[in-house]
Amino acid sequence: MTSRQEYLKNYYKTHKKTINGRRKKYYRKHKTKCLTNQRKYYKKNRDTILATKKIKSLAFRGHAYSIWSAVKKYAKLWKLPHCTFQEFYDDWSVDDQKYNELYEAWKASEYNENLSPVVMRKVKKNGFVPSNLDWDTKNNYSWWNEDSKVFKEVEFNLNEVQKARNKSSKEFRKQLREKWKAKLKAKKEEQQ
């Protein structure tokens, strides 16, 4: 006798096409409901989904590859010279003591975002080539350090203040509208 789990695995293997067909038919029929549920699930679990994707990408390709791919993307966008992954990793990152120290410190801090190793250019116009690059942590650059957290807090507070203003102005407009309607009614009654 097989366990329930084994039975379901075997059943899925043998009836895979019919199960997928039913699933697709249900999706076509109830598309908005399915998409709404997916959206709700993503909103609730966004942080965990993105964290697991990041961990998977780090495990599969390595931290240096994820940095190089971001560097390549911006180099192409800004039309700057950039190096291949072999030049970036084999010739420069593997033997670089500073990168190894920063990476180990980042792992020891349980992947604290501010201690993540990043690549910075010495001279911006020279592009992303190994002779122009230097390793450092995210925390040392203004866009990523604690100042950005303060900036986000201030922005959030401003948004809250603006929402409060919008609500109060809506109430004020509603009161004005009601007074105006009352005046119109009074004029119509006087005329009759």
Question: What type of residue sits at position 164?
Answer: A
Which of 55, 85, 60 lies closest to 70 in space, CA to CA?
A: 85
Ranges of each domain in the chain? 4-44, 47-144
pLDDT, tens digit, for every residue of 106-158?
888 888 877 888 888 888 888 888 888 888 888 777 555 566 677 778 888 88
C-beta of residue 133 within 8 angstroms of C-beta of residue 93 = no
Q: How high is the pLDDT of residue 1?
A: 65
Query: Locate tokens 């650059």: which residue?
Result: 141
pLDDT at 179 exceeding the cut of 50: yes
Beta bridge partners of 137: 117
The span from the CA of 49 to the CA of 59, in Å, is 15
pLDDT, tens digit, for every residue of 59-75?
545 788 888 888 888 88
Q: How high is the pLDDT of residue 14?
A: 92
| Residue 168, phi then psi, degrees to nearest 5 | -65, -40
The span from the CA of 107 to the CA of 81, in Å, is 31
The span from the CA of 150 to the CA of 25, in Å, is 49
Question: What type of residue sits at position 137?
Answer: T
